[in-house]
Amino acid sequence: MRKLFLVLATPFLFTACASVQEAENFANCTYALRGVEISDYNVNSLSFNVYVGITNLNRKEAAAIKKFEGEMFMEDVKVSDVSFENVRIEPGATKNQKVYLNIPMEVFSSKLLGLVSMGSATVNYHLTGTAYFETPLGDVPVPVDIGRYGSAN
């Protein structure tokens, strides 16, 4: 009985291992915060375009990010939630995903507001969250933690 079970379970185990490897291939990406630029401002809010660079390191399979959910920080102050959906990155390619953020003025401290309004290269940006990749096994969550600190990065 035990041998029969092993014979029947072996193909399932090989399939499961192959599927796990396939899921890892889909989620083999690196991330970089490419830039943040002011797009609009008024007395109530500042609007920014944030560019997240996503590089698919897999040379054979495209990466399909079903959704990304995260938070944007400036000078260690949370300024906004960040999300985007349905991004496809071809094998070996990089995509700069543009995210639009509208941030109320009450979020900013006077120091941060001064740095941002002057276009300072020393404003620290940080983005943290989770990317969900579509795979044959279902959605695979991958933590993302990227930032830009000072003018050196």
CATH of the domain at 65: 2.60.40
Does residue 79 fall inside a structural domain?
A: yes
Does residue 34 fall inside a structural domain?
A: yes
* Total domains present in the chain: 1
Does residue 16 fall inside a structural domain?
A: yes
Does residue 7 fall inside a structural domain?
A: yes
Does residue 19 fall inside a structural domain?
A: yes
First to last CA, the chain: 62
Q: What is the mean pLDDT of the segment spanning 120-133? A: 80
Residue 14 has pLDDT above 70, yes or no: no
Does residue 74 fall inside a structural domain?
A: yes
Q: In percent, how much of the chain has pLDDT > 90? A: 25
What per-residue confidence (pLDDT) applies to 92?
A: 92
In terms of residue numbers, what domain contains 70? 2-148
The 3 state secondary structure assigned to the chain is CHHHHHHHHHHHHHHHHHHHHHHHHHCCEEEEEEEEEEEEECCCEEEEEEEEEEEECCCCCCEEEEEEEEEEEECCEEEEEEEEEEEEECCCCEEEEEEEEEEEHHHCCHHHHHHHHCCCCCCCEEEEEEEEEEECCEEEEEEEEEEECCCCC
Amino acid identity of residue 47, one-letter, is S
Task: Find out whether 86 and 131 touch, Cβ atoms under 8 Å.
Answer: no
Does residue 95 fall inside a structural domain?
A: yes
Does residue 153 fall inside a structural domain?
A: no
Distance (Å, rounded) from C-alpha 79 to C-alpha 107?
A: 6
User: Could you tell me the pTM of the whole model?
Assistant: 0.70
What per-residue confidence (pLDDT) applies to 121?
A: 55
Task: Find out whether 34 and 146 touch, Cβ atoms under 8 Å.
Answer: no
pLDDT bin (cut points 50, 70, 90) of residue 94 is: very high
pLDDT bin (cut points 50, 70, 90) of residue 19 is: very low
Q: Which residue has the higher pLDDT, 131 or 36?
A: 131
Amino acid identity of residue 152, one-letter, is A
